[in-house]
């Protein structure tokens, strides 16, 4: 797992509209980079809707929100349209960012072991350095915890 104080790995990935998004393009502002397992699943939908509900608060704080999963750009487009998600969703089917951020890990579900994305959120500062890491976040409270942290509280 990457730690606070480390340089955030740069990436270039397509968003839901097929536009290339490069993390380094956001230098000068904070970025909330959250990794989630899959579009349209219950937990991922609650997490995304939490970020959507708090989107204006993030914008007011000059913070960019970027969600990353291995779903396709077309899947992200449908997901964003269905739930009115106003922030960036980027597609990482080749696991470029997912592996660079060390969120592709062994998971156990009902005794079955498989590899998958472990729900993790990073706050990246204006200089491209990881400021905070939240591993294994709860989808229902992730956005609120990040906002509290950004306002000077503890997550």
**Which residues pair with residue 12 across a beta bridge?**
22
- Segment 14-39 mean pLDDT: 97
Instruction: Give tens-digit pLDDT for 79-138.
Output: 999 999 999 999 999 999 999 999 999 888 788 888 999 999 999 999 999 999 999 899
- The pTM is what? 0.94
DSSP assignments along the chain, one per residue:
---TTSBPPP-EEEBTTS-EEEGGGGTTSEEEEEE-S-TTSHHHHHHHHHHHHTHHHHHHTTEEEEEEESS-HHHHHHHHHHHT--SEEEE-TT-HHHHHTT-EEEEEETTEEEEEE--EEEEE-TTSBEEEEEES--TTTHHHHHHHHHTTS--
Q: What is the pLDDT of residue 155?
A: 57
Instruction: Give tens-digit pLDDT for 43-93.
Output: 999 999 999 999 999 999 999 999 999 999 999 999 999 999 999 999 999
Average pLDDT, the chain: 95
49 assigned to active site: no
| Domains within the chain, CATH numbers bracketed | 12-20+41-150 (3.40.30.10)
Alpha-carbon distances of 114 from 16, 40, 92, 110, 128, rounded to whole Å: 27, 20, 18, 11, 32
Q: What is the pLDDT of residue 15?
A: 97
Q: What is the pLDDT of residue 109?
A: 77
Q: Of 13, 44, 66, 98, which is the active-site residue?
A: 44
The encoded tokens of residue 65 equal 């929100």
Q: What is the pLDDT of residue 154?
A: 64
């Amino acid at each position: 797992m990457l730690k606070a104080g480390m340089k955030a790995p740069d990436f270039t990935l397509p968003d839901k509209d097929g536009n290339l998004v490069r993390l380094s393009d956001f230098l000068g502002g904070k970025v909330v980079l959250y990794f989630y397992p899959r579009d349209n699943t219950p937990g991922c939908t609650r997490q995304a809707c939490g970020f959507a509900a708090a989107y204006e608060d993030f914008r007011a704080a000059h913070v960019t929100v970027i969600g990353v999963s291995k779903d396709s750009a077309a899947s992200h487009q449908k997901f964003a349209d269905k739930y009115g998600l106003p922030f960036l969703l980027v597609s990482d089917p080749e696991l470029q960012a997912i592996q660079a951020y060390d969120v592709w890990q062994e998971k156990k579900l009902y005794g079955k072991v498989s590899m998958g994305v472990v729900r993790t959120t990073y706050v990246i500062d204006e200089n491209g350095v990881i400021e905070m890491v939240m591993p294994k976040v709860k989808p229902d409270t992730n956005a609120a915890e990040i906002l509290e942290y950004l306002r000077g509280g503890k997550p």
